[in-house]
Amino acid sequence: MKIYIEVNGQKKVYDVAPDEYLLDTLREDNFYSIKRGCDNSSCGVCTVLMDGKAVQSCTLLSVKADGHKITTIEGYQDEAKKLSEHFGHQGADQCGYCNSSLALTVHAMKDEIVKPTNKDIKEYLVGNLCRCTGYEAQHRAIKLCLEDDE
């Protein structure tokens, strides 16, 4: 099936199988920021934005993205750079496998919640698992990044 998606502002046409997932379609098209993690929407490393909302691409049929706007971190390079500065200073970088998807989800959170509290941040990002950092350094970095925007 042909599907038409706008990926990071660029119009794309993909020929997909009805049971193909967006993760595979986009990785096949060299969007390396989207990672394969758990295969069943439990870890968050495959997160992309669909019409600005975070969704898990390992679970989203590619056909369901037809006609929608998809954003990956390749489309938010400046945001990623900004957050990564704080990650660097807070020692929140480890393996990096969850970082792009986390940056995207933080972006979606900023769009949705004005001045999120500690609890808001934890609740919003609970689906973004990290096995390396213990979360605290990430949390500090995200808070500082949010403060920058104020």
Partner 1 sequence: MEIVNYFKAKTVEEAYKKLQEDPSNLIIGGGAWLRLSSKTVNTAIDLEYVGLNQIKETENSIEIDAYVTLREVEKNEALSNLFSGIVNKGISGIMGVALRNLVTVGGSVVGKYSFSDFITPLLAVNTEVVLYKAGRMSLEDFLKLRTKEKDILLKIIIQKEEVLGYYYKMKKTGLDFAVVNVGVTNTLGHLKIVVGARPSLAAFAVKAMDYVNNQETVTDEVIEETANIAINELKFSTNSKASKEYRIELAKVYIRRGLKEVTK
Partner 2 sequence: MKVVNHALPSIDGKGLMMGKKAYTDDLSEPKSLIVKVLRSPHPYAKIVKIDTAKAEALDGVELVLTYKDFDRRPFTRAGQGYPEPSPHDKFVLDNYVRYIGDEAAAVAAIDVKTAEKALKLIEIEYEVLEPVLDFETAFENEILVHTEPEIHDMFPIGFDPKKNLAASYHMHVGDVTKSLEESEVIIEESFYTQAQAHVMLEPHNVNARVDYQGRLVIYSSTQTPIHVRRIISQALDYPLSKIRVIKPRVGGGFGGKQAIHGEMFVATVTLKTGKPSKMMYTRKEVFESSYSRHPMRFDIKLGSTKDGVLKAIDCWVVSDTGAYGEHALTVFMVAAAKVFPLYNKVDSVRFHGNVVYTNHTPAGAYRGYGAIQGNFALESSIDMLCHKLKIDPVEFRQKNMIKETETSPIFKIMGEGTEGIEMFMESCKLDYCVKRGSELVKWKEKYPRKELGNSKVKGVGMAIAMQGSGIPYIDMAAATIKLNDDGFYNLMIGATDIGQGSDTILAQIAAEALGTTLDKVIVYSSDTDLTPYDTGAYASSTTYVSGNAVLKAGKEMRQMIIDEAAKVFEVNPEDVEYDGVVLKSKDKEITLKDLSNRLFYNEDQKQLQITSSYYGTKSPPPFMAGFVEIDVDKETGEVDIIDYVSIVDCGTTINPMLAKGQVEGGIVQGIGMAMYEEVLYTKKGKLVTNDMMNYRIPTRREINNLTTEFADSYEESGPYGAKSVGEIGIDTPPAALANAVYNAVGVRITTLPITPEKILMAIKEKEKGEK
Q: Which residues bind partner 2 (CB under 8 A)?
A: 17, 27, 30-40, 42-43, 45, 72-74, 77, 80-81, 83-85, 87-100, 103, 122-123, 125-139
Task: Choose among partner 2, partner 1, none what residue 12 binds, the Cβ cut-off being 5 to 8 Å by kind.
Answer: none
With contacts defined by CB under 8 A, how many residues of the chain interact with partner 1?
A: 33
Query: Does 61 sit near partner 1 (CB under 8 A)?
Result: yes
Q: Looking at residue 21, what DSSP letter applies?
A: B
Report the residue count for the chain.
150
Query: Does 82 sit near partner 1 (CB under 8 A)?
Result: no
CA–CA separation, 137 vs 129, rounded Å? Answer: 14
Query: Does 78 sit near partner 1 (CB under 8 A)?
Result: no
List strands edge to edge, sheet with 47-50. Answer: 10-15, 2-7, 69-71, 47-50, 53-56
Query: Does 144 sit near partner 1 (CB under 8 A)?
Result: no
Query: Which of 8, 27, 85, 129 touches partner 1 (CB under 8 A)?
Result: 129
Contact assessment for residue 101 and residue 34, using Cβ atoms and an 8 Å cutoff: yes
Q: Which is nearer to partner 1, 85 or 132 (CB)?
A: 132
Burial (Cβ within 10 Å: 0-12, 13-18, ≥19) of residue 49: buried
